[in-house]
């Protein structure tokens, strides 16, 4: 579905640019006054009346396609797959782990002598408390 959405947007933008170009190429109603004296037919590729019909028909055809792509985009915007429930339900729920039974730390042998550079005072036991919410 996302592929077609991208295709419709691309076609929509290209049609919009083509309509802008065709409108800018067309002569306004005031430009026909000069053609009465012979100036309009010589500067036109299709003649005095041929260009207006061709360009106006192309503009109408592109406007129809533009309208249809607008309807397609509106359809895609309103018919997206809906998820059931809240957004947070999609997040994997972490199960709290039961605390492990407290075991007595192994006793250090009393005959062990500190290595060179170490102090003779015993280090406090490191806390291995788990992050459990209160």
- Taking only the tens place, the pLDDT of each residue in 107-129 is 665 665 666 666 666 565 555 56
Instruction: State how far the Cα of 4 lies from the Cα of 6, in Å rounded to an integer.
Output: 5
What's the chain's length in residues?
A: 134
Token pair belonging to 29: 């109603």
Among 27, 20, 24, 25, residue whose Cα is nearest residue 63:
20
Instruction: For residues 87-108, give the mean pLDDT.
Output: 66
Query: Residue written as tokens 């309009």?
Result: 40
Stronger pLDDT, 116 or 40, i.e. the higher one: 116
Distance, in Å, from the CA atom of 49 to the CA atom of 102, rounded to the nearest integer, reads 97
Cβ pair 12, 70 in contact under 8 A: yes
The better pLDDT of the pair 61, 133 is held by 61
Residue 23 maps to a domain: yes
Number of folded domains that form the chain: 1
Q: Could you tell me the pLDDT band of residue 96, with boundaries at 50, 70 and 90? A: low
Mean pLDDT of all residues in the chain?
74
Assigned domain for 124 exists:
no
39 lies in a domain? no
Query: Which residue range forms the structural domain that includes residue 13?
Result: 1-29+50-81
Q: What pLDDT is recorded for position 122?
A: 59
Residue 10 lies in a domain: yes
Joined tokens for residue 121: 């005072």
Q: Determine the pLDDT at residue 24.
A: 92
Statement: the pTM of the whole predicted model exceeds 0.85: no
Establish if 61 belongs to a structural domain.
Answer: yes
Planar angle of CA 87, 91, 92, nearest 5 degrees: 155
Q: What do you get for the CA distance between the two ends of the chain, in Å?
A: 45
CB 69 within 8 A of CB 61: no
Domain-embedded: residue 107: no
């Amino acid at each position: 579905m996302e592929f077609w959405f991208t295709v419709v947007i691309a076609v929509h933008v290209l049609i919009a640019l083509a309509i802008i170009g065709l409108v800018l190429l067309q002569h306004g109603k005031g430009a026909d006054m000069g053609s009465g004296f012979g100036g309009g037919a010589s500067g036109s590729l299709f003649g005095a009346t041929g260009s207006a019909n061709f360009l106006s028909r192309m503009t109408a055809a592109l406007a129809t396609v533009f309208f249809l792509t607008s309807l397609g985009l509106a359809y895609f915007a309103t018919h997206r797959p809906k998820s059931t429930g809240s957004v947070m339900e999609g997040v994997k729920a972490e199960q709290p782990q039961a605390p492990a039974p407290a075991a007595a730390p192994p006793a250090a042998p009393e005959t062990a002598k500190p290595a060179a550079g170490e102090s003779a005072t015993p280090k406090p036991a490191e806390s291995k408390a788990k992050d459990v919410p209160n």
